[in-house]
Amino acid sequence: MRQEVEQAIETLDLDTADAAVAELARTYAAAIDNDGPIDTLGPRLLQALDALGLTPKARARSAQAKGASDDQPTRDPLDELRQRRAARVNGTAAVDTTAP
């Protein structure tokens, strides 16, 4: 386990703030290799890897965050549904009554 964790960490461009978490992940992996209690150490290793962005869940969050940071404003799906329904009711476009 230590070897796989080490290889994964080497792919990262870590700053000094992440070094402690990386070392913690290495320690957990080495302890698991030495027959440490996987039921205790496994979840801790997973949390450390997640903090480093080395899990599928972390990568999905990162990709989602990058998508949200685009120049496009975020849209409320409920507002979009209301607009479509209003347009469908009378065959006219929705009217914003609060607009000047």
pLDDT of residue 91: 66
**pLDDT digits 0-9 by tens, 50-99:** 999 999 898 888 887 776 555 555 667 777 777 878 777 766 555 566 66
Task: Record the pTM.
Answer: 0.63
Distance (Å) of CA 32 to CA 8, 44, 54, 90, 95: 16, 11, 18, 66, 63
pLDDT of residue 9: 95
Q: Answer for the pair 52, 18: CB distance below 8 angstroms, yes or no.
A: yes
pLDDT at 1 over 90: yes
**pLDDT digits 0-9 by tens, 10-38:** 999 888 889 999 999 999 999 999 999 99
Q: What is the dihedral of CA 45, 47, 52, 56, to 10 degrees?
A: 100
